[in-house]
Structure 1
Amino acid sequence: MPGQINWFELPAADTARARTFYGGLFDWNTTGFDGDYHVIGNGPAGAIAPRENGFTHPRVYFGTEDIDASVKRVHELGGTSEEVQAVPGVGRITHCHDDQGTPFSLFEPASQG
């Protein structure tokens, strides 16, 4: 559903330690996906990912049915966005900032057709 949070990512300097911490706290288990990216299997829809420059706080993804139209609207409202990226077999994403500089991301699922 458009506008709902449908994915999140927790950045970690040491993803193994983060998986141990959140596993102990919430009993989450994870599965590796594409290197050091770990999808949460028995909790909310999200992942533990390597911390990078500019990715030091949890990242939320809002669902959209048309990421191109949403990116256009972000810009019309005074926000910014990075280039839309395809995630094969998953969908399309982009990282944005609203008109006050708050970061968020958009996610358009791959068509089920």
Structure 2
Amino acid sequence: MPGQVNWIELPAADTAKARTFYGALFGWDTSEFGGDYHVIGNGPAGAITAAEPGFTHPRVYFATEDVDASVKRLHELGGRSEDVQTVPGVGRIAHCHDDQGTPFSLYEPADPS
């Protein structure tokens, strides 16, 4: 459903410590997806990943059926975005900011066929 939160990413300076912390707090387990990206297995749909400059707070992904159309509309409304990225086998994403500077991301799932 468009606009529904469908993924979160929790950035951490030390992902091993973060996985231990959230595992103890919520009972989450994780599995490595690649690099320092660890998918949460028994919690919210999302991952614990390495923090980067400009990515130090949780990132929320909102569902969209057409990321290109959503990015176009975002720009019309005064928001801004990075280029749309394709994640092979996963879908297409765009990291964005609303018209007040609040960061969020858009996610269009890959065609299951």
TM-score scaled by length of structure 1: 0.99
For residues 6-85 of structure 1, the aligned pairs below 5 Å read 6-85=6-85
Unaligned runs of 5+ in 2: none
Q: Amino acid of the residue matched to residue 60 of structure 1?
A: V
Q: Which residue of 2 aligns with 1:101?
A: 101
Q: What secondary structure does 1:60 align onto? A: strand
- Quote how far apart the aligned CAs of 1:77 are: 0.2
The one-letter amino acid paired with 2:8 is F
Runs of 4+ in 1 over 6 A off after TM superposition: none
Which AA in structure 1 matches 2:32? G
Identity %: 79
Provide the alpha-carbon RMSD of the alignment.
Answer: 0.4
For structure 1, the residue ranges without an aligned partner over 5 or more in a row are none
Q: TM-score, normalised by structure 2?
A: 0.99
Q: How many residues align?
A: 113
- 1:44 and 1:95 map into 2 onto residues whose CA distance is 20
Q: After TM superposition, give the deviation of residue 112 of structure 1 in Å.
A: 1.2
- For the residue of structure 2 that corresponds to 1:71, the secondary structure is helix
